[in-house]
Amino acid sequence: MNNRLLLGFVFLVLIAAGVGIWQLIPTNAQLRWTEAMDAATKGNHTRTLQVANELLRDYPDSTAIHPLLAITSVRTGEYDQTLERYKSLSSIEAAQQSGYPDFLVTPQGELSDFLLEAGKICIKMGHCEVAEECWKGAIKNNANQHEARALLAQILAAQGRVWEMKGLLEKLVEDKQAKQQHALLLGLLNPTIADDALLAIWEEAV
């Protein structure tokens, strides 16, 4: 086989396998994400923030980039930026990330856990309103996120917003995750619950 035929054969093989070959080549987003994560691992916070923010301009609803920015902002003491990342993350809907690369999308269960912990951090920082957003986001991403539901009920009670707690308490009772104080509050909020039913909720409380 002369060189011309050989080159033609190789060219046809490459065309046939073209999709597979292109899949092996890292995209610009992959390269930038790898750079951001590598910088974070090495403690280079300035570079982490720079690359991650550049990437965020192309993928503003990424549930992977916002957490990285939030964590890095805590490490640099830029707490206002941390709160902004938490608020943005809490409001993102899964559909907003349609078409995003998988590595820029955090699974909803993991995202729910992250927002649960973010809310706790916000409480320690004295930002109850952001904690509320975080815990609502945690529940949105995982309907069985009972700890966030209980914590949300707690801050609503502390603010005197007791009527907003009813749905939260009913879900805790329904899933047998209520504590005795939840059963008591639900009895006060819903006087139509029969005494024997309320007693059963109290006895089943964890």
pLDDT in tens, 59-72: 999 999 999 999 99
31 CB-contact burial (10 Å; exposed 0-12 / middle 13-18 / buried 19+): exposed
Cα–Cα distance, 138 to 149 (Å, whole number): 9
pLDDT attached to residue 193? 59
Q: What is the pLDDT of residue 151?
A: 93
Structure tokens that stand for 194 in this block: 């029969």
Asked whether the predicted pLDDT for residue 200 surpasses 80, the reply is no
Whole-angstrom distance, CA of residue 141 vs CA of residue 38: 28
**Gap between the Cα atoms of 3 and 196, Å rounded:** 90
Write the pLDDT tens digit of every residue in 22-40: 444 457 999 999 999 999 9
Average pLDDT over residues 148-176: 85
Q: Is the predicted pLDDT of residue 142 greater than 50, yes or no?
A: yes
Token pair recorded at residue 201: 């909720």
> 59: how many CB neighbours lie within 10 A of its CB?
19
Q: Dig out the tokens for 182 from the structure.
A: 């939840």
> In whole angstroms, what is the distance from residue 180 CA to residue 7 CA?
78
> Which residues are within 8 A (CB) of 72 and not within 5 positions of it... i.e. 6 or more apart?
40, 45, 48, 49, 52
Exposure string for 167-201, b = 16+ CB within 10 A, e = fewer? ebbbbbbeeebbeeebbbbbbeeeeebeeeebeeb
Instruction: Name the more confident of 157 and 88.
Output: 88
* Residue with the two structure tokens 């990437």: 55
Is the pLDDT at 178 greater than 70, yes or no? no
Amino acid present at 62: S
Measured distance CA(18)–CA(181) in Å, rounded: 63
Using alpha carbons, list the distances in angstroms from residue 188 to 124, 183, 193: 30, 9, 9
Rounded to whole angstroms, the Cα distance separating 193 from 206 reads 19
**Percent share of the chain, pLDDT over 90:** 61
C-beta separation of 132 from 152 below 8 A: yes
